Amino acid sequence: MDLAELASVGGFFALRTGTPDGGHTPLGRVYAGDGARLTERVDTVATRLGVTERRVAASVAHLGLAARLWSVALGSAALHGQLPDLDPALLHWDTDRAAPDDLLLTEVRALPGTPDGVREAVQYGHLLPLAEALRRDTRVSRQLLWGNAGSALAGAVRALHTWARRSGRPEVAERASRLAAELFAHADLAGTVQMPGLRRRSCCLYYRSPGGGLCGDCVFDRPPRPAAESRPAAE
């Protein structure tokens, strides 16, 4: 497992290793109920976006971390047939930093890069407890969060396809697609992204931030008018 090669795919695929500094907190602590750092992260995103609607900041913060987790795990599995053990006790998060400095792994242990291995590491190990921790902080729907998870997974697939074309490694793109297809078959992720095209079926709410537009995979073709913004299907 070559973390340097993994990082060459892009910043979201990079994973630092070593001893955490004072800014990093084990994600396991966040999931266990120490929500101060998660609250800080949502506050930071809200400030950067200039939003007063807290669920918008919560959604964007969640989408960013989900993208990091899927990218590291799926990228490792597609490139090397292995992934690093992303045990929440080993994976530390700095809420003030962006990729690739936000995540740090204190011990590198290789796990099989199978669909079940990736699902266990990311979906069960992080996304489920992260969603519950976030919902303790902010009123945000589970449907929206699973939509974010599907969008983040699809984004990792697209990035790996781009890298594979650039690097002359078509087998990496093929493995990424096969892995993602099995991951998307799970009930929580099924239907979150439209195939083909990898376009999500929900909205992350980014358009509701000042100056915010639509993401590249947004379910909308144009930002909704105010009268339509409260429809459950859009969130």
Identify the pLDDT of residue 226: 54
Task: Report whether pLDDT(233) > 60.
Answer: no
Axis-axis angle for helices 128-137, 142-167 (nearest 10): 130
Identify the pLDDT of residue 220: 66
Identify the pLDDT of residue 225: 65
Distance, CA of 133 to CA of 101 (rounded, Å) = 22
Task: Report whether pLDDT(69) > 80.
Answer: yes
Q: What residue segments make up the domains of the chain, in order of their start?
A: 3-221
In this structure, the strands spanning 199-200 and 25-26 are unpaired
Query: ∠ at Cα 179 (104, 155), nearest 5°?
Result: 60
Helix ranges (H only) for the chain are: 3-7, 27-31, 36-49, 54-80, 115-118, 128-137, 142-167, 170-184
Task: Report whether pLDDT(166) > 90.
Answer: yes
Task: Report whether pLDDT(136) > 70.
Answer: yes
In this structure, the strands spanning 16-17 and 103-105 are parallel
Distance, CA of 34 to CA of 16 (rounded, Å) = 23
As a whole number, the mean pLDDT across the chain is 88
Top pLDDT among 197 and 145 is at 145
Choose among 102, 101, 103: nearest CA to 90. Answer: 103
Identify the pLDDT of residue 216: 66
Task: Report whether pLDDT(129) > 90.
Answer: yes
Is 0.85 topped by the overall pTM? yes
Identify the pLDDT of residue 218: 65
| pLDDT range class, residue 228, cuts 50, 70, 90 | very low
pLDDT tens-digit profile of 19-63? Answer: 987 789 999 999 998 889 999 999 999 998 898 889 999 999 999
Identify the pLDDT of residue 232: 45
